[in-house]
Amino acid sequence: MRLDANSSKKAFAKRADRGPLRNLLNMMFFDVHTQLGRTVNLSITILIVVSVLVSMTGTMPDLEQIWVERVHQFEMIVTFVFAMEFVLRCYAARSARAYIFSFYGIVDMLAILPMLLIGDPNVAIRMLRILRLLKLVRYLRALRLFISSMRDTMEMLAMVLGSIGLGAILAGNLIYTIEPETFKSAFDGAWWGIVTMTTVGYGDVVPHTLAGRAVAVCLMVVGICMFAAVTGVVSIKIARAVHHGVKCQSCEKSMAPEFHYCPHCGYKQIDENEEEINPEGNRKQ
């Protein structure tokens, strides 16, 4: 819906009060649909990948000590860069508090805290290697769509996980009752039940009796049906997220809902209430 002139003027006035530096930083870090924003975000993406690969190199057993030390030095430099990125994002965000407590803000903060809080650099680097990969979610649209779809299906996922847990406990006790000589405890049976329902089938322990194999078949069928249902629901959610669009407030052409600038006319999208725009500069859905 097109905004009236007064609302537009108020929104522009609020942006003007932020100052040119904060507006520039907001464009650099939060608007990936401008050349500057794309360049900055691509550079950060490359740095994340390189830092993870370098830290993985440090795990090689035959690596000389001098290279291990250089890996640690490189990690300190990268941590400083990401710390500066986090500070600048807090400064550039429309609401620093909202950004810090958002999913991306928490991930950005976790990506630097281990090196600052943990005394052992080896432990810190191992944690950073995992946490920094989460930062890629911000820059890969496919991952954002997947996470958004998973968030919309949390109720069903909780139901499936609960069913798996209940089924594993039931199957564990049942298979232990049927074949106590094969399964040492009900916990071993529950582990086997989870492996069977997910159709992983490690093969470390298998039922030998007809009744035990019947239980295994039932678990396999139930597991396939549950995961097929979840896959279908998530696929539908992803398809809706991909094809759903909004209209530009100026030219009224269709565009992706996360776009801050119209790709057709370049008009900067303005919300009636500035606080309704999320801390990363994108419109809430």
CATH assignment of the domain containing 230: 1.10.287.70
Residue 149: inside a domain, yes or no?
Answer: no
The answer, yes or no, to whether residue 13 has pLDDT greater than 90, is no
Highest mean pLDDT among 144-153, 183-192, 259-268, 276-285: 183-192
Chain centroid to CA 10: 34
Same domain, 88 and 160: no
DSSP secondary structure code for residue 268 in this structure: B
Domain hosting residue 167, numbered range: 154-240
pLDDT of 174: 92
Arithmetic mean of pLDDT over the chain: 75
Task: Give the pair of three-digit tokens for residue 212.
Answer: 């035990």
Residue 276: inside a domain, yes or no?
Answer: no
Residue 134: inside a domain, yes or no?
Answer: yes
Q: Which residues of 34-72 are buried (b: 16+ CB within 10 A; e: fewer)?
A: eeebeebbeebeebbeebbebbeebeeeeeeeeebeebb
The answer, yes or no, to whether residue 16 has pLDDT greater than 60, is no
Q: Using an 8 Å Cβ cutoff, are 260 and 33 in contact?
A: yes
Same domain, 18 and 117: yes
Task: Please give the backbone phi and psi of residue 268, each rounded to the nearest 5 degrees, phi first.
Answer: -80, 120
Residue 268: inside a domain, yes or no?
Answer: no
Amino acid (1-letter code) at residue 12: F
pLDDT in tens, 216-274: 999 999 888 888 887 887 777 767 666 665 666 666 655 556 566 554 445 566 654 44
Among 94, 115, 139, identify where a domain stops: 139
Same domain, 159 and 135: no
Same domain, 125 and 50: yes
d(CA 285, CA 272): 14
In terms of Cα–Cα distance, which of 220, 234, 231 is closest to 164? 220
Among 204, 225, 240, identify where a domain stops: 240
Same domain, 77 and 159: no
Same domain, 162 and 236: yes
- CA diameter of the chain: 79
Same domain, 125 and 213: no
Q: Using an 8 Å Cβ cutoff, are 125 and 55 in contact?
A: yes
Amino acid (1-letter code) at residue 7: S
Higher-confidence residue of 187 and 137: namely: 187
d(CA 265, CA 255): 11
Taking residues 63-70, report their average pLDDT.
84
Same domain, 43 and 128: yes
DSSP secondary structure code for residue 269 in this structure: P
Total domain count for the chain?
A: 2
Residues 6+ apart with CB under 8 A from 92: 22, 25, 26, 28, 29, 30
Task: Please give the backbone phi and psi of residue 255, each rounded to the nearest 5 degrees, phi first.
Answer: -150, 170
- Identify the three-state secondary structure at position 5: helix
Taking residues 6-22, report their average pLDDT.
56
Q: Using an 8 Å Cβ cutoff, are 237 and 153 in contact?
A: yes
Highest mean pLDDT among 88-97, 256-265, 273-282: 88-97
Residue 130: inside a domain, yes or no?
Answer: yes
For residue 84, give the CATH number of its domain.
1.20.120.350
d(CA 135, CA 184): 43
Helices (H) and strands (E) in the chain, counts: 12, 2
pLDDT of 124: 64
Same domain, 42 and 102: yes
Residue 165: inside a domain, yes or no?
Answer: yes
In terms of Cα–Cα distance, which of 65, 86, 97, 95 is closest to 131? 86
DSSP secondary structure code for residue 27 in this structure: H
pLDDT in tens, 23-47: 888 888 877 677 888 888 888 888 8
Same domain, 209 and 117: no
pLDDT of 261: 52
Same domain, 236 and 124: no
Percent of the chain, pLDDT > 70? 66
Chain centroid to CA 241: 16
Residue 247: inside a domain, yes or no?
Answer: no
Same domain, 130 and 158: no
